[in-house]
Structure 1
């Protein structure tokens, strides 16, 4: 039942990789989710997306997403994070928390439906569509809420690739300062690479380390959300603490993510192993993000989602300003 959908997601990931190879400035994962969004808008495809392909696409956007996030932990090393210095690490964590809280508040202020405030806050503050997929699985968000949040973070992350380099020199930033700004203020890892690479290898390396420091915040924030979800009462007022239908305090994929971080920090893993894990992780996340993008319906979003779009743009502006302030402070 799931094989057709998985094969289509794999083909889409391969196509996204081909586009990325031809145009390296376009991040692989961004291409994958945009491709999914494009496919989801074609009426002739929707019969397949909601029928024969549905089981496989569902598997891709849940299980593959979680496996990809576990492997993402192998990109993080506590030693690299410590080398940033306490001021940079502290400001990066503060940016994540302030952006998360500010976006959550904005989402509730504009009365966004369902779990959209939480999902948008998670994606914009931590690591884009991957973080939204992780949080969506924990709080059991509706597909519409997840799709809307994915579309917004993809739009704004792509916007950053064009806008931030244009502001680099007018703001008087050095190459390293620009790298710090990008790492702290752009959503997805691929978008960070695409934005920071124009400032040179040193700026790119700094941007990636700061970015993965933000990714590390995924574990505690998802764990807290899981605890809150467990405490929600079911209809009728029956407490749900401890029931199997609720997520564990620490979801298994989050524990796996942390284990991968600790392993990479404690052991010098072979370069070939890390390279293979990176390739598998990119493939899994590309398939998952294509499946998530295929659930987006732009026409209803444009008709009724102006409030979500406004929240996304305000959050994008908020994290850019906070990140720039941290650069000036450092």
Structure 2
């Protein structure tokens, strides 16, 4: 009798250990891609290592020589590294930095994220866009791009083409805004501080904010990054809102909501713990700088894995309603902070 037909004698502990070892084995290539992307982008200020790793994954999966079996083997480890990277973002976010932007700065962050997220969901639903795509676009465009999409993906459970399209759109819009906002701020006669707040409240990726702020002026980087970090903190309530919406959609006619999407995932719990630890001021700068690099590597490996889901033949034809919704989300996330700054007299 073939040994494959015999019942397994592995204990659950042995099985978990085997899965961990297998995952670690398959994490090598994604991690190397992340490190290489990070190294390349260190000399290119406007480049994001996360976007580069995402693009590498998209290229690999669309090559004729791309192995579906190999891609499938990489996916579990890249997802784990992505979640670990999201948790690591908390170590770069101290509550002191958020407080430093003042009550008005915090208000800009909260109102921009909330209005973009809620308006995008409301309009997307009425446009007839698929619910999973609506949640991904609303989350990614309101908070922090691909990292936010990765954070809510487990609750939403979208199809691969929905996830790929959301990632492609948020990357495209963010890249355009990265160059457009500094030029627009200069054309409108905004002060460097005003344009920096605008960039931090509107751009998706942390690297995009840093690049845009460097184009605005040397004093703009600290302001823009503080505002952006405030948006990253909104990951937790946004994830909770998405989870509740998914639960209601799955079980709308019952008193007991579905468990799908319920609860706060472990990586967001670690994210909050990391923020609190960073805020104590006990961690030395050497530790924070090291963990910042490791976080970028984990996120890069995760973005490589998400890029593996961007199969071009699955994206065509492009759904026009999702494209329109992404443009609406972009208008909202850029217009709300400008209107608030104008009402505050900061133009």
Per-residue deviation, 1:29? 1.2
Partner Cα separation in structure 2 for residue 38 and residue 177 of structure 1 = 38
Find 2:294's aligned residue among 280, 285, 288. Answer: 280
Does residue 92 (structure 1) correspond to residue 109 (structure 2)? The answer is yes
Per the alignment, residue 181 of structure 1 pairs with: 198
Per the alignment, residue 223 of structure 1 pairs with: 240
Partner Cα separation in structure 2 for residue 221 and residue 146 of structure 1 = 17
Per-residue deviation, 1:302? 4.2
Per the alignment, residue 120 of structure 1 pairs with: 137
CA contact (8 A) 1:2 1:57 kept: no
Find 1:315's aligned residue among 324, 329, 346. Answer: 329
CA contact (8 A) 1:34 1:293 kept: yes
Gaps of 5+ in 1: none
Partner Cα separation in structure 2 for residue 176 and residue 313 of structure 1 = 26
Partner Cα separation in structure 2 for residue 227 and residue 293 of structure 1 = 27
CA contact (8 A) 1:230 1:240 kept: no
- Cα deviation per residue 1:221-278 (whole Å; 9 max; x = unaligned)? 212323444455469x8876475xx344222211111111111112331001101110
Partner Cα separation in structure 2 for residue 2 and residue 77 of structure 1 = 32
Per the alignment, residue 53 of structure 1 pairs with: 71
Per the alignment, residue 143 of structure 1 pairs with: 160
Q: 1:5 to 1:311 in 2, by over 3 A?
A: farther
CA contact (8 A) 2:61 2:71 kept: no
What's the TM-score once normalised by structure 2's chain length? 0.86
Per-residue deviation, 1:296? 0.9
Partner Cα separation in structure 2 for residue 289 and residue 5 of structure 1 = 15
Per-residue deviation, 1:144? 2.1
Does residue 34 (structure 1) correspond to residue 55 (structure 2)? The answer is yes
Per-residue deviation, 1:32? 1.5
- Cα deviation per residue 1:105-145 (whole Å; 9 max; x = unaligned)? 23223322240100110000001000000100123222222
Partner Cα separation in structure 2 for residue 43 and residue 108 of structure 1 = 37
Report the secondary structure of 1:10's partner residue: helix
Per the alignment, residue 289 of structure 1 pairs with: 303
Per the alignment, residue 225 of structure 2 pairs with: 208
- Cα deviation per residue 1:145-167 (whole Å; 9 max; x = unaligned)? 21111111011111112211221
Report the secondary structure of 1:44's partner residue: coil
Find 1:267's aligned residue among 268, 281, 287. Answer: 281
Per the alignment, residue 195 of structure 1 pairs with: 212
CA contact (8 A) 2:154 2:261 kept: no
Report the secondary structure of 1:283's partner residue: helix
Per-residue deviation, 1:43? 3.1
Q: Pairwise CA RMSD of aligned residues?
A: 2.2
Partner Cα separation in structure 2 for residue 319 and residue 38 of structure 1 = 30
Q: 1:117 to 1:295 in 2, by over 3 A?
A: same
How many matched pairs?
323
Per the alignment, residue 7 of structure 1 pairs with: 28
Moved more, 124-133 or 68-77: 68-77
CA contact (8 A) 2:161 2:314 kept: no
Gaps of 5+ in 2: 1-21
